[in-house]
Structure 1
Amino acid sequence: MNRIIVAVLLTSIWWPVLGQHTIESEQKELSKERRTILQILERQTADWNSGRVDKFMNGYWPSDSLTFVGKAGITYGYEATLANYKKRYPTRVSMGTLKFDILQLDFPAPDVAYVIGRFHLTRPKIGDADGYFTLLWRKLNNHWLIVSDHSN
Structure 2
Amino acid sequence: MIFCLHLPNIFIEKPTIMKKTLILLCFFTMSFSHGQVNNDADVKAINKVLKKARIAWSNNDIEGFMDSYWKSDSLAFYGNKGVTYGWENTLDHYLTYYPTAAYTGTLSFKINAVNNIAPDAYYVLGEYHLKREIGNADGIFMLVFKKINGMWKIIADTSV
Asked if Structure 1 and Structure 2 have the same fold, meaning a TM-score greater than 0.5 normalized by the shorter chain, the answer is: yes
Q: For residues 73 and 109 of structure 1, what CA distance do their matches in structure 2 show?
A: 27
SS of corresponding position for 2:46 = helix
CA-based RMSD:
1.4
1:12-51 equivalent positions in 2, closer than 5 A: 30-51=39-60
1:129 to 2:129 alignment: no
Q: 1 CA distance for matches of 2:60 and 2:139?
A: 20
Other-structure match for 1:74: 83
Aligned pairs, number: 125
Separation of aligned partners in 2, 1:126 and 1:49: 14
What is the identity percentage for the equivalent residue pairs of Structure 1 and Structure 2? 41
TM-score by length of 1: 0.80
Residue 73 of structure 2: which of 59, 64, 74 is its match?
64
Following superposition, the deviation at residue 150 of structure 1 comes to 0.2
Which ranges in structure 1 are unaligned for 5 or more consecutive residues? 1-26
Q: Output the TM-score relative to the length of structure 2.
A: 0.76
The aligned counterpart of 2:100 is 91
How big is the shift at 1:92?
A: 0.4
Instruction: Measure, in 1, the Cα distance between the counterparts of 2:79 and 2:152.
Output: 22
Q: Which runs of no fewer than 5 residues in structure 2 stay unpaired?
A: 1-36
Query: What is the aligned partner in structure 2 of residue 117 from structure 1?
Result: 126
Q: 2:155 aligns with which of 142, 147, 151?
A: 147
* Rounded Cα–Cα distance in structure 1 between residues aligned with 2:88 and 2:108: 24
Structure 1 runs of 4+ off > 2 angstroms?
A: none
How far the C-alpha of 1:37 sits from its partner, in A, is 0.2
